[in-house]
């Protein structure tokens, strides 16, 4: 479909996966956005379909039980928000049918899955779109503008540390086989995504990291604001992922990146901190990503040059505005031939880095495990 066609009528959109993300983020926003019309909602779970049908955004939607029930002739875009382990399978099926896909993060769980997505995009002739909404935040965009004036970027530090916020404890989020990992896959993907415009297309030469899980089973650490649980007992499933990950990475062109992702911590508030160090100065953004109520009151941005730190005015906007702005951008991306393959290239770098951090953390633990075995 051409850009002109998208302007002539709304983009017919199917939402696949009717969990928290669909009900809280995508369906309400798509319903009120003039560029889109939701033509189908898909989930194999009958109770999930019933829950969406009871909401204003889903009351009159056609509800389907399977992806193969979607007619490519009636859909211009599929927004995929299924559990992590299904991302690749669902997206490749849709792409192979010629249906463009916007895929929630994490886009995939392994490098092998990234190649399967690339093959499906090529064979189906449909574009894969992906990316964190965090890039569309007003404060992050202000940081990017300052970063462009800091000379050669030498070092980036990215941290998203929640006070409390382990999602779906005992459910699929905390089972490695279903989620692919813990905080590094969930929050860390956003942080890597933030770094892409700052680092460009360079890849990582070295990556080391550590993981830990000191908070994941604590009753007080659950993400009660998601509605996954009521702050009481977790679900009966296993919790074999990390709640905290730290990484240190070096790019092929010699720049360094420090990453810290935590679902829970000793902190009082959820805090996101991004620092850029360049040859001509540094800049730091303090804010809170996501929907948690345990957040900083406002975003603050500073720039430091020659020993002087000055505040930079930045707009603090309503929570979730970045998702509206991301939807604003989707029609043009969907119609741009240059977008085909672009998401995959970013995904390859991101999942490759995540895999290497996990490998480093696993190797670092093995000698100690042998010592006490």
Assess contact for 169 and 335: CB atoms under 8 A.
no
302 three-state secondary structure: strand
Give, in order, the Cα–Cα distances in Å from 301 to each of 66, 308, 312.
45, 14, 5
- DSSP annotation of 158 reads E
Architecture of domain 3-132: 3-Layer(aba) Sandwich (3.40)
Tokens of 54: 């009871």
- Torsion (CA) 63, 66, 70, 75 in degrees, nearest 10: 70
Position 6 scores a pLDDT of 53
Assess contact for 213 and 134: CB atoms under 8 A.
no
Which of 361, 371, 368, 367 minimizes the C-alpha distance to 176? 361
Assess contact for 255 and 153: CB atoms under 8 A.
yes
Residues 6+ apart with CB under 8 A from 210: 245, 246, 360, 361, 364
Assess contact for 280 and 151: CB atoms under 8 A.
yes
Position 232 scores a pLDDT of 46
Tokens of 147: 């970063």
Position 372 scores a pLDDT of 41
Looking up tokens 């993060």 gives: 105
Distance CA 173, CA 166 (A): 9
Distance CA 58, CA 97 (A): 25
Which of 367, 371, 358, 110 minimizes the C-alpha distance to 211? 358
Position 196 scores a pLDDT of 94
200: buried, middle or exposed (CB in 10 Å: 19+, 13-18, 0-12)? exposed
pLDDT 10s per residue in the chain (373 long)?
444 455 578 999 999 999 999 999 999 999 999 999 999 999 999 999 999 999 887 888 899 999 999 999 999 999 999 999 999 999 999 999 999 999 989 999 999 999 999 999 999 999 999 989 999 999 999 999 999 999 999 999 999 999 999 998 889 999 999 999 999 999 999 999 999 999 998 999 999 999 999 999 898 889 887 776 544 455 556 789 999 999 999 999 999 999 999 999 999 999 999 999 999 999 999 999 999 999 999 999 999 999 999 999 998 899 999 999 999 999 999 999 999 999 999 999 999 999 999 999 998 776 555 444 4
Would you list the domain boundaries of the chain?
A: 3-132, 134-323
Distance CA 29, CA 326 (A): 10
CB 348: neighbour CB atoms within 10 A?
Answer: 18
Domains 3-132 and 134-323 share a fold: no
Position 163 scores a pLDDT of 96
Which of 207, 206, 185, 218 minimizes the C-alpha distance to 107? 185
Position 10 scores a pLDDT of 96
Q: Does the domain at residues 134-323 carry the CATH identifier 3.40.50.720?
A: no
């Amino acid at each position: 479909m051409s850009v002109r066609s998208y302007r002539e009528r709304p983009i017919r959109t199917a939402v696949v996966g009717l969990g928290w993300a669909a009900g809280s983020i995508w369906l309400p926003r798509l319903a009120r956005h003039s560029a889109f019309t939701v033509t189908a909602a898909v989930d194999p779970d009958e109770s999930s379909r019933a829950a969406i049908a009871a909401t204003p955004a889903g009351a009159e939607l056609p509800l389907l039980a399977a992806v193969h029930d979607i007619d490519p002739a009636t859909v211009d875009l599929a927004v995929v928000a299924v559990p992590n382990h299904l991302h690749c399978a669902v997206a490749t099926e849709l792409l192979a049918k010629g249906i463009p896909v916007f895929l929630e993060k994490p886009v995939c769980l392994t490098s092998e899955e990234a190649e399967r997505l690339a093959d499906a995009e090529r064979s189906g002739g449909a574009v894969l779109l992906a990316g964190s909404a965090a890039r569309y935040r007003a404060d992050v965009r202000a940081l990017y503008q300052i970063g462009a004036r800091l000379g050669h970027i030498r070092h980036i530090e990215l941290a998203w540390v929640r006070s409390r916020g382990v999602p779906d404890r005992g459910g699929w989020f905390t089972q490695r086989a279903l989620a692919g990992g813990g905080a590094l896959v969930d929050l860390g993907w956003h942080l890597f995504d933030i770094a892409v415009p700052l680092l460009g297309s360079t890849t990582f030469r070295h990556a080391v990291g550590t993981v830990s899980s000191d908070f994941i089973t604590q009753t007080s650490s659950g993400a009660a604001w998601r509605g996954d649980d009521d702050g009481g007992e977790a679900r009966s499933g296993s919790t074999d992922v990390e709640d905290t990950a730290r990484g240190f990475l070096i790019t092929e062109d010699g720049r360094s990146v420090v990453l810290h992702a935590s679902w829970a911590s000793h902190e009082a508030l959820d805090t996101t901190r991004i620092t850029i160090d360049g040859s001509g100065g540094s800049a730091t953004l303090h804010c809170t990503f996501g929907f948690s109520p345990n957040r900083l009151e406002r975003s603050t941005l500073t720039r430091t040059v020659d020993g002087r730190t000055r505040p930079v005015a930045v707009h603090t906007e309503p929570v979730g505005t970045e998702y509206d702005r991301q939807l604003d951008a989707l029609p043009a991306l969907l119609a741009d031939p240059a977008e085909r393959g672009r998401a995959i290239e970013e995904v390859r770098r991101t999942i490759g880095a995540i895999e290497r951090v996990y490998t480093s953390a696993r190797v670092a633990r093995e000698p100690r495990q042998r010592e006490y075995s």
